[in-house]
Structure 1
Amino acid sequence: MIAATTQRSRQAALAAMSDDEGLDVLVVGGGVTGAGVALDAATRGLRTGIVEMQDWASGTSSRSSKLIHGGMRYLYNLDFALVQEALRERGLLLSTIAPHLVRPQPFLWPLKIPVVERTYSALGVGLYDAMSAVGNLTLPGDKEGAGVPPQKHYGRKGALELFPDLRSDQLTGAIRFFDARVDDARLVLGLVRTAVSYGALAATRAQVTEITKDAVGRVVGAVVTDLETGRARQVRAKHVISCTGVWTEETESLASSTGSLEVLASKGVHLVIPKDRIKGSTGLFLRTEKSVLFVIPWQHYWVIGTTDTPWEGPLRHPITTRADIDYVLEQANKVLTSQLTTDDILGTWAGLRPLLQPSGGAESSAKVSREHTVAEVAPGMVSIAGGKLTTYRVMAEDAVDFALGSTAARRWPSITERIPLVGAVGLEAAGRYLARVAPGYGWDADRIEHLLSRYGSEVGTLIDLIEEDPRLAEPLPSAPAYLGVEVAFAVRYEGSLHLEDVLLHRLRIDHEARDRGLSAVEDVLAIAVPLLGWDEDRQQAEVDAYRARLAGIRAGEAEWSDAEAIAERSRAEDLIPIRPLRRAHRI
């Protein structure tokens, strides 16, 4: 049976979490790490619950560079273990865990200085390839055993054939290497729904507002408040695992006045550019004086980023400024003949990276390690922070191992490296099936690729929904890259509770359209409202909240400083506000 998260399953999950049986593990936080922990714990046979105070992947895990990569730049910091670990995880995702969501992506590394730069760059890329091959799984049809082809060198002419938009005066040649890209929010959705299929209880808009302890001070659960209804529930759990990213210190404060992990929030900004504005058949990997810049091709547009600047504003709403936009455009235009301007921008997003704070403080967020750490906040509660998207599975395994203790962890070892996510099993057969039925719906090869890369073998369920209502086979008039059936699937199977859930995290209309999906609201509501049972007042409240959010973001993007942008963004009130936290109490 297909794993579905719905309004009804959410209520049932909250009720079950608070029953007399209690949980083995309560996971706090619904980003990629929390979702990974929930899947890890559930597949060990543990009774697992996961709660998220917003929507799945609403924070960092929907605002990344959307790359699954070893981290080429970390080689130059001599973080060999981190790169090796990430490359192995890349191989697992490409081959077993999520081959529909994670796709190989070639990158071109432009070279400016003859001989010397090519030599040291080739050594770095060669080491990257070698580390990818060591310990990685051999993928079907992959002769190198590294999951992706090895590096290839080009002179100026060859580089320009691959990427005509490169400035020839800034180019002596290039090296092509491979990494992978992913729809980060859909990866999180896949993890949660797979965990649910193995018995996990999952609920969004459910905030941990208190941590409860027994008479001797051991954490024995939490008070979980349903932000949709205001009802607070007592959830008992043998182990509580906090996976709250940049919120780590706030979550820890519920259980301890001292805390265990310190996290530095670093803002990363990305721009979305129309596909026809840049001529190239690969991505670009560019080293800047501050960090790196990726120019990444997606099906219908390019993504360019990122920045790496300290953030001291509200954790819920990081925002792009005019200074961020100008910096990214300036760096990209150093190598592109197209000379992009603000008029070319379709959309932007800003996300916060949860970087562990080294002892003694940090002068720059770009210098902070990306390695993760698990620590005990209080007896019965652990916290994990740091790491990166690519290594979520290892982080999850470490967190559950730590929470259980060595003896129990050996008894119930992690098996997630062998667990495919929903949509991964039968992918090749699903592709053949879709190719056969697509002409009957008027779908071309581009549409087939779109559906397979988002839903994998679950495309059969989309066809079933279309059989129920043939109108769902049609593109959304206001956002023709998406079909009506994708909205229906978002509500019926992916737990969408609000308009913004669909536009931000199930579909990607929010950052793909110049109006951030405002023109698509009516089309989305026409499909979603009958499924969600909203009355006219509820519809209007959803629309008003989305409009206010967009107005705040637009106003913020016109400001030069974070402080000014935050002031503009804060004018928009959240439709579902989060609750104030309370210190731990004993029961």
Structure 2
Amino acid sequence: VLVVGGGATGSGCALDAVTRNLKTALVERSDFSSGTSSRSTKLIHGGVRYLQKAIMKLDYEQVKAPFFPILTGTVDVLHRWWQLPYYWAGIKMYDLVAGSQCLKSSYVLSKSKALELFPMLKKDKLVGAIVYYDEICLLSSANDPYGQEFDVRARCVINATGPFTDSLRKMDNQKTANICQPSAGVHIVIPGYYSPDNMGLLDPATSDGRVIFFLPWEKMTVAGTTDTPTEVTAHPIPVEDDINFILSEVRNYLSPDVEGNATLSMHFSLERLSNKICGYT
């Protein structure tokens, strides 16, 4: 088995192949997880965002990856009393679908407990919060210092190059149809005091109907992401409009307001969204 791409997906495929006693090689053009995997929200694929798919498609694989991640609580802030039964029912359904694989049962926080946990939350209109659990994945990397070129023969090739999937396919046939739609995901890094060490925050409905996470990461807080169509480039750069969008959404929750000069760093990831021909990603 030859795996092309040393990100989260490629590394996972290679590990799975090795544990099945398959001869396995993995090739990566730069450093392991140096692309999309290192510029992500650091969340394992799944969670309440995929609840509908898990139920409607009976896709229980969404909750069957217990061996890599670190348990992390996520706070869903409530600003209206009617949101409590609405979100509570959905998140409890997620617990039910997970069954014995449930990481930890969700629970409700009062306004005072939410502020105790998240001191930087805005108090205006805050009525409480719901805590549910996803998992954050930590990735290790290593470099080959020699840079030698050699041929690899394999009966099976796994294309795990993410947004570069189509460019690799076209190396075999230039006329092959594209199966992926690249999407830009921007994150900003703000000071760590905006989130506790072991718990994040979810904005379930941004001004344009998307979802944004604020999560602890390396003693800082990472906030994002965006999801806009883009072109595939080797070294993508964040767009100012996307950065301003995240800042404006963060200000709805955190106090004092997060200004542009509080942004410690930012990163831009290219995500692979599939066309209809490609099925699920």
TM over 0.5: yes
> In the alignment, which residue of structure 2 is the partner of 1:131?
97
Q: Whole-Å Cα distance in 2 between the matches of residues 248 and 274 of structure 1?
A: 35
Q: 1:320 to 1:155 in 2, by over 3 A?
A: same
> In the alignment, which residue of structure 1 is the partner of 2:103?
147
> In the alignment, which residue of structure 2 is the partner of 1:352?
270
What amino acid does structure 2 have at the position aligned with 1:340?
V
Q: 1:354 to 1:257 in 2, by over 3 A?
A: same
> In the alignment, which residue of structure 1 is the partner of 2:191?
274
Q: Whole-Å Cα distance in 2 between the matches of residues 67 and 56 of structure 1?
A: 17
**1:255-270 map, 5 Å:** 255-259=172-176, 262-270=179-187
What amino acid does structure 2 have at the position aligned with 1:327?
F
> In the alignment, which residue of structure 1 is the partner of 2:212?
293
1:249 aligned to 141, 153, 166, which one? 166
Q: TM-score, normalised by structure 2?
A: 0.88
Q: Whole-Å Cα distance in 2 between the matches of residues 270 and 83 of structure 1?
A: 28
Q: Whole-Å Cα distance in 2 between the matches of residues 356 and 313 of structure 1?
A: 14
**1:387-426 map, 5 Å:** none
**1:72-91 map, 5 Å:** 72-75=48-51, 77-80=52-55, 81=57, 84-89=60-65
- Structural RMSD (CA): 2.5
1:102-151 Cα deviation digits (max 9, x unpaired) = 22111111112213x211201111011112224x2xxxxxxxxx232x11
2:160 maps to 1:160:
no
Q: Whole-Å Cα distance in 1 between the matches of residues 177 and 158 of structure 2?
A: 13
1:266-310 Cα deviation digits (max 9, x unpaired) = 11111111223x265631111213321111123521111111111
1:103 aligned to 38, 57, 70, which one? 70
Q: Whole-Å Cα distance in 1 between the matches of residues 177 and 118 of structure 2?
A: 47
Q: CA offset at residue 247 of structure 1? A: 0.9
Q: Which has the higher helix share?
A: 1
SS in 2 for 1:67: coil
In the alignment of these two chains, the number of paired residues is 277
> In the alignment, which residue of structure 2 is the partner of 1:174?
129
> In the alignment, which residue of structure 1 is the partner of 2:44?
68
Q: Whole-Å Cα distance in 1 between the matches of residues 121 and 153 of structure 2?
A: 58
SS in 2 for 1:160: helix
What amino acid does structure 2 have at the position aligned with 1:125?
I
What amino acid does structure 1 have at the position aligned with 2:107?
K
- Structure 2, unmatched stretches of 5+, are none
2:244 maps to 1:326:
yes
> In the alignment, which residue of structure 1 is the partner of 2:12?
36
2:86 aligned to 91, 95, 120, which one? 120
1:530-569 Cα deviation digits (max 9, x unpaired) = xxxxxxxxxxxxxxxxxxxxxxxxxxxxxxxxxxxxxxxx
Q: 1:234 to 1:181 in 2, by over 3 A?
A: closer
SS in 1 for 2:154: strand
Q: Whole-Å Cα distance in 2 between the matches of residues 321 and 87 of structure 1?
A: 34
Q: CA offset at residue 313 of structure 1? A: 4.5
SS in 1 for 2:91: helix
> In the alignment, which residue of structure 2 is the partner of 1:53?
29
Q: 1:82 to 1:311 in 2, by over 3 A?
A: farther
Q: Whole-Å Cα distance in 2 between the matches of residues 121 and 329 of structure 1?
A: 25
Q: Whole-Å Cα distance in 2 between the matches of residues 178 and 39 of structure 1?
A: 25
What amino acid does structure 1 have at the position aligned with 2:250?
A
> In the alignment, which residue of structure 2 is the partner of 1:27?
3
Is the contact between residue 165 and residue 280 of structure 1 (CA under 8 Å) also seen in structure 2? no
2:261 aligned to 338, 343, 357, which one? 343
> In the alignment, which residue of structure 1 is the partner of 2:229?
310
> In the alignment, which residue of structure 2 is the partner of 1:234?
151
1:457-490 Cα deviation digits (max 9, x unpaired) = xxxxxxxxxxxxxxxxxxxxxxxxxxxxxxxxxx
Is the contact between residue 181 and residue 229 of structure 2 (CA under 8 Å) also seen in structure 1? yes
1:156-201 Cα deviation digits (max 9, x unpaired) = 2332222222222232221111112123x42xx3xxx8xxxxxxxx
Is the contact between residue 164 and residue 232 of structure 2 (CA under 8 Å) also seen in structure 1? no
What amino acid does structure 1 have at the position aligned with 2:258?
L
1:237-258 Cα deviation digits (max 9, x unpaired) = 2222222111111111122344
Q: CA offset at residue 235 of structure 1? A: 2.8
Q: Whole-Å Cα distance in 2 between the matches of residues 46 and 79 of structure 1?
A: 30
Q: TM-score, normalised by structure 1?
A: 0.44
1:319-339 Cα deviation digits (max 9, x unpaired) = 112212111110010111120
Q: 1:352 to 1:238 in 2, by over 3 A?
A: same
Q: Whole-Å Cα distance in 1 between the matches of residues 62 and 202 of structure 2?
A: 18
Q: CA offset at residue 79 of structure 1? A: 4.7
Q: Whole-Å Cα distance in 2 between the matches of residues 156 and 242 of structure 1?
A: 48
Is the contact between residue 70 and residue 84 of structure 1 (CA under 8 Å) also seen in structure 2? no
